[in-house]
């Protein structure tokens, strides 16, 4: 059975670097690396983190030699799904590595209600508990930046990545990481629904390891119990029954009022129409009429096209996981990690970033 020094030797050979050059890249002198490879010196947590960073492997693999399912999937899956898994692997590897340094993810799952009734009913029950958690954390599902709300209330990492067409998102659950990766899109309400859908998977404990969703609105997904539960969760989480009943009141909804409600909740008119019908707040005929309204049309009817345009821009913008950004910088500031993980997350050249951080504030005194 291979040992940690064996696996490090494997990484040195794969890197194409000399042992001396490899040692320099990980911040060690050649003699210390030689002692560690011979077993006379133990590799420190920082050593392993730097080796993992340089060689694009996990600290867990260096320690145990076992390849996580996510790493295997990243090597064997192509297309947009492969890109999503590769992004998830990158974030999870980094999360695992900084956990080894003492910066563990602040994952805060909810206590799910007893699994009673249909899977759709379970999803709605779970949404009620999750909504209460958001409120306790001082947030609201009606806030525009839902990734920030999810990170604050549940401690999950949320990333938005350019994954190409035909892919919505992925949820990943490992011992060290709870992660949601969303695709950039020009349809902001779809991205928002996907985020809630993937959160439903994480909170329900579905598919520990990896859960891919190429199309969260695919009708065939209704046949999968976990998908039915996640969709019901997303619908109830984003469109709480109490808000809808208050909006309908005793007089019902005009078409303009319906459009305003869709913009308020930042959901697609079709999703809102189906949700209202499921609660028997509108009839089937009204649902059929309302669901043909597009998101852009609803915003125009509500006089909020500028707001909708901003939502589109935000949905097309990549976003690194906010909590992971925070923790990688904290690890760097404490001297537990290099600056590279933080720089890579925010998409900045590490040397340029280091120079900027070390530079004095420029300026001159007023005469």
Cα separation, 214 vs 87, in Å, equals 15
CA 215 to chain centre: 17
Tokens 């065939």 belong to which residue? 220
30-38 vs 4-15: helix crossing angle, rounded to 10: 130
Task: Report pLDDT digits (tens) over 189-208.
Answer: 999 999 999 999 999 987 65
Residue 6 tokens read as: 């064996």
| Average pLDDT rounded to a whole number, residues 297-313 | 97
| Average pLDDT rounded to a whole number, residues 341-358 | 92
In angstroms and rounded to an integer, the radius of gyration of the C-alpha atoms of the chain is 24
> Do residues 185 and 191 lie in contact, with contact meaning Cβ atoms separated by under 8 Å?
yes
Let me know if residue 260 belongs to a domain. yes
SS3 3: coil
187 Cβ contact list (under 8 Å, min separation 6): 295, 312, 315
pLDDT band at 1 (very low <50, low <70, confident <90, very high): low
Between CA 216 and CA 80, with CA 309 as vertex, the angle to 5 degrees is 35
- Regarding whether 140 and 125 lie in a shared domain, the answer is yes
- How high is the pLDDT of residue 112? 75
Percent of all residues in the chain with a pLDDT value above 90, rounded to a whole number: 63
| Strand bridging mode 157-161 / 169-173 | unpaired
- How high is the pLDDT of residue 324? 97
C-alpha distances in angstroms, 10 versus 25, 75, 115, 247, 281?
16, 18, 47, 63, 64
Percent of all residues in the chain with a pLDDT value above 70, rounded to a whole number: 90
E-assigned strand segments in the chain: 157-161, 169-173, 178-183, 211-213
| Strand bridging mode 157-161 / 178-183 | parallel
- Regarding whether 267 and 159 lie in a shared domain, the answer is no
| Average pLDDT rounded to a whole number, residues 25-39 | 92
| Average pLDDT rounded to a whole number, residues 81-91 | 83
Q: How many domains does the chain have?
A: 3
Between CA 49 and CA 55, with CA 53 as vertex, the angle to 5 degrees is 115
- How high is the pLDDT of residue 209? 64
- Regarding whether 18 and 139 lie in a shared domain, the answer is no
| Average pLDDT rounded to a whole number, residues 133-160 | 96
Q: Is the pLDDT of residue 74 over 50?
A: no
- How high is the pLDDT of residue 72? 43
> Do residues 79 and 201 lie in contact, with contact meaning Cβ atoms separated by under 8 Å?
no
> Do residues 108 and 153 lie in contact, with contact meaning Cβ atoms separated by under 8 Å?
yes
> Do residues 257 and 149 lie in contact, with contact meaning Cβ atoms separated by under 8 Å?
no
**139 or 57, which is more confident?**
139
Residue 133 sits in a domain whose CATH number is: 1.10.10.2910
- Regarding whether 225 and 82 lie in a shared domain, the answer is yes
Cα separation, 2 vs 126, in Å, equals 44
DSSP conformation letters of 260-306: HHHHHHT--HHHHHHHHHHTTSS-HHHHHHHTTS-HHHHHHHTT-HH
Range of the domain at 252: 241-301
- Regarding whether 328 and 190 lie in a shared domain, the answer is yes
Let me know if residue 82 belongs to a domain. yes
Residue 22 sits in a domain whose CATH number is: 1.10.260.40
pLDDT band at 111 (very low <50, low <70, confident <90, very high): confident
Q: Is the pLDDT of residue 293 over 70?
A: yes
> Do residues 87 and 163 lie in contact, with contact meaning Cβ atoms separated by under 8 Å?
yes
Q: Which of 39-43, 223-227, 265-269, 357-361 has the lowest mean pLDDT?
A: 357-361
Residue 250 tokens read as: 């005793």
> Do residues 324 and 345 lie in contact, with contact meaning Cβ atoms separated by under 8 Å?
yes
The neighbouring-strand residues paired with 178 are 173
The pTM for the full model equals 0.78
- Regarding whether 267 and 186 lie in a shared domain, the answer is no
- How high is the pLDDT of residue 360? 56
pLDDT band at 135 (very low <50, low <70, confident <90, very high): very high
For 160, phi then psi, to 5°, come to: -120, 125
- Regarding whether 273 and 200 lie in a shared domain, the answer is no
């Amino acid at each position: 059975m291979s040992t940690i020094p064996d696996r490090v030797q494997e990484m040195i050979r794969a890197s194409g670097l000399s042992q001396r050059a490899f040692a320099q890249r990980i911040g060690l002198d050649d003699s210390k690396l030689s002692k560690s490879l011979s077993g006379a010196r133990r590799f420190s947590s920082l050593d392993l983190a730097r080796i993992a960073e340089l060689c694009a492997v996990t600290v867990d693999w260096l320690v145990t030699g076992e390849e996580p399912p996510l790493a295997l999937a990243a090597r064997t899956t192509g297309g947009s799904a492969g890109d999503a898994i590769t992004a998830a692997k990158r974030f999870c590897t980094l999360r695992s590595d900084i956990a080894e340094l003492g910066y563990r993810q602040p994952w805060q799952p909810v206590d799910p209600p007893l699994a009673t009734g249909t899977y759709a009913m379970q999803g709605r029950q779970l949404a009620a508990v999750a909504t209460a958690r958001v409120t306790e954390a001082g947030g609201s599902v009606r806030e525009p930046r839902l990734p920030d709300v999810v990170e604050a209330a549940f401690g999950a990492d949320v990333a938005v990545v350019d994954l190409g067409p035909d892919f919505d998102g992925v949820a990943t659950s490992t011992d060290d990481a709870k992660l949601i990766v969303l695709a950039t899109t020009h349809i902001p309400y779809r991205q928002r629904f996907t985020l809630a859908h993937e959160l439903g998977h994480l909170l329900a404990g579905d598919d520990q390891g990896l859960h891919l969703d190429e199309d969260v609105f695919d009708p065939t997904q209704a046949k999968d119990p976990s998908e039915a539960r996640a969709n019901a969760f997303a619908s109830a989480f984003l469109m709480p029954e109490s808000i809808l009943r208050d909006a309908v009141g005793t007089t019902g909804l005009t078409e303009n009022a319906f459009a305003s409600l869709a913009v308020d909740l930042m959901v697609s008119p079709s999703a809102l129409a189906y949700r209202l019908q499921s609660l028997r707040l509108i009839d089937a005929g009204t649902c059929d009429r309302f669901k043909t309204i597009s998101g852009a049309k609803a915003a125009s009817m509500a006089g909020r096209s500028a707001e909708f345009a901003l939502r589109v821009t935000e949905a097309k913008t990549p976003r690194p996981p906010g909590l992971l950004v925070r923790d990688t910088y904290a690890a760097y500031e404490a001297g537990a990690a290099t600056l590279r993980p933080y720089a890579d997350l925010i998409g900045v050249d590490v040397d340029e970033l280091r120079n900027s951080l070390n530079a004095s504030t420029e300026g001159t005194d007023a005469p």
